[in-house]
Amino acid sequence: MSQPLATRVPQPLATRLDTLQRRIGEALFARVAGPEGPSLHPLAMIAVAQHSDYRNDPWGRLQRTSTFLAATTYGTAEDAQRAVDRVRRVHQHVTGTAPDGRPYRAADPHLLRWVHVAEADSFLRCHQRYGARPLDDAGCDGYVADIARIAMELGVPDPPRTRAQLDAALRAYRPELRATPEAREAARFLVRNPPLPLLARGPYALLAAAAIGELPDWARRELRLPRVPADSVLVPSAGHAIVGAVRWVMSARR
């Protein structure tokens, strides 16, 4: 069995390596989680474009999302309920009219269900490809069933509770999905002009390529993103390298 990296290098170097790992981990955690630790549905994307400040404060937007996920995944029942209540209060104020004249509201159960199934599929798909311990079939069903409880608290009607039901729900939404100018603008912002220093853009580009590779071909074409085949040698290898590096720096916080 191979020895840990820190025991295979001279002690002064090992100490510096541990310090670097800890500092990078703390910086990354602060950036993603904050001090507290794109969609293809036209109406959902209009709501994001008109009410979200992701262009001017993308890291704040990410931090609020990661805080919600952390609270509802790892927090106590009371923490999770407070996070859900906070989101529901925000949703009550997100209303408007799309350019085609259709009204929308963030609390619309149909739109809430779309956001839920899209996120659940994306999280599960990426974990299965890049996670340290991919789930078996029972584990996938268990994950979908677990997050269905949060979805119901948010107002999602009849959320899927198995992987098969999740796939069926995504297929049912397919006729409604198309890329609007707002969706393409969000994709360009995230992929081509990320709010990152130059040194971080190389690793981010590899991570973005891995994410694009997980999109269905029709979604990638709608968003006018470059073709990045997920089954090529380069994309999964790069994705595993970046995710592994993130996992390594974050392990210093345990």
The angle subtended at Cα 109 by Cα 105 and Cα 115, nearest 5°, is 85
d(CA 225, CA 235): 15
pLDDT at 107: 94
In this prediction, residues 103-125 reach a mean pLDDT of: 95
Q: Name residue, tokens 């790892």.
A: 74
List, in sequence order, the alpha helices (H) in the chain: 11-33, 42-51, 58-74, 77-92, 109-130, 137-154, 163-173, 181-192, 198-213, 217-223, 234-250
Q: Which of 67, 55, 57 has its CA nearest to residue 30?
A: 67
pLDDT at 27: 63
In this prediction, residues 74-94 reach a mean pLDDT of: 92
Instruction: Report the sign of the C-alpha dihedral through residues 26, 30, 33, 38, in that order.
Output: negative
Model confidence at 1, pLDDT cuts 50, 70, 90, reads very low
